[in-house]
Amino acid sequence: MKKTLLAVLAAGALTTGAAWHGLAADSPKADTQKAATISTPITHAIAGGRDSYADVVNVAAPAVVTIRTEGKARMRATMFGQDGQDGQEGQDPEDLLRRFFGDRFGQDQRGQRMPRQQRVPRQRALGSGVIVTSDGYILTNNHVVDGADEIKVELTDDRTLSAKLVGTDKASDLALLKVTAGDLHPIAIGNSENVKVGDVVLAVGNPLGVGQTVTMGIISAKGRSTTVGDGGYEDFLQTDAPINQGNSGGALVNGRAELVGINSQILSTSGGNIGIGFAIPSNMARNVMDQLIASGKVRRGQLGVIVQPVTPEAAKRAGRPDSRGVLVREVVGGGPAERAGVRAGDIITAFNGAPIDEANGLRIQVAGAQPGATATLTFWRDGKEQQASVTLAEMPPPQRRT
């Protein structure tokens, strides 16, 4: 998995202990027949029960695929030493390789320089993906396919298919692939807004290349932002279902075998699972997918404000009974918010009726709306709640870092 960032303990011992306690509570004078009457139903209940997620797995697993990619290796000087001591940024990687392998690096047996295309190293990557339509669209992470020249998809029925890259969205770390084949088994996309903290979820993918694996956990939190991306749009579902490298792009599934998230990141001190994983909500993934299918790119709305948290002091000055919402620190001149009459010092409390509790929440809500759409902004000013209608602009594409 690109960014390292999980296990649920079984309760079998507790069940055993409870049964033992029930038998021990009987009177010493209880006869053998009575003991059998008590113990037999317990044994039969355990043996005949369906305390299992096998039915969910049977539906969801065929939709989860392994993705293998191959592309040109992207070398940096810092990869050849500790703390970047060897080489300088921008230096030709071949010069660095010659430092380690001698002047004959890049030459054939006769001492002639080989054509450059024969000397470009290749890199391979492994991840997971989810079939979401019967005609072959597959959702995965952008970082799984980033820089790939060739993408292969391995299905659970042992078929291997070549995949076409439909489009990518680095800001959300999502990518959309397309395969052409019959007898595909897409998963139903659930409504991630309905997910609640404490819901049981299953993570399905190919961790560390061991083969398709299912792990179980719960939703630990919603609306998380790890801030380790490149200024992307993060509204993660946090889960303790074990996720490891290779699970990227795989499915997070609810108890109805519906896709509620695309596994994306883990938080880890060791590179392995420690019970803190993050999945992109299915609603965000569906929005990105629909736009990539329609136009090959993703457009996002822009409000034109710079906001900050509402401190208790700021709430008191504004006459607010609590610190909910975000404080408008600056309004972009000529932007949608300014045209709608929003001013610095206003406290935004809702966007299109959805409560706003922090800055990332507002950013996600605005970004999820299409440019040109009209939205209702609720804000606090002069001791009372007010509303304004705002026509959103388009968020410019992120600038590529150099």
d(CA 363, CA 327): 13
Structure-block tokens of residue 239: 């889960």
Residue 346: Cβ-neighbour burial (10 angstroms; 0-12, 13-18, 19+): buried
Torsion of CA 355, 360, 363, 367, to 10 degrees: -100
3-class SS of residue 209: helix
Following DSSP, what letter does each residue of 241-299 receive, concatenated? S---TT-TT-EEE-TTSEEEEEEEEE--SSSS--S-EEEEEHHHHHHHHHHHHHHSS--
Which of 235, 238, 233 shows the shortest CA–CA distance to 170?
A: 233
Roughly what angle, to the nearest 10 degrees, separates helices 32-48 and 12-24?
160
Residues with catalytic function? 143, 173, 248
The SS3 call for residue 180 is coil
- What would the two tokens of residue 118 be? 């024969």
Do 249 and 262 form a contact (C-beta atoms < 8 A)? yes
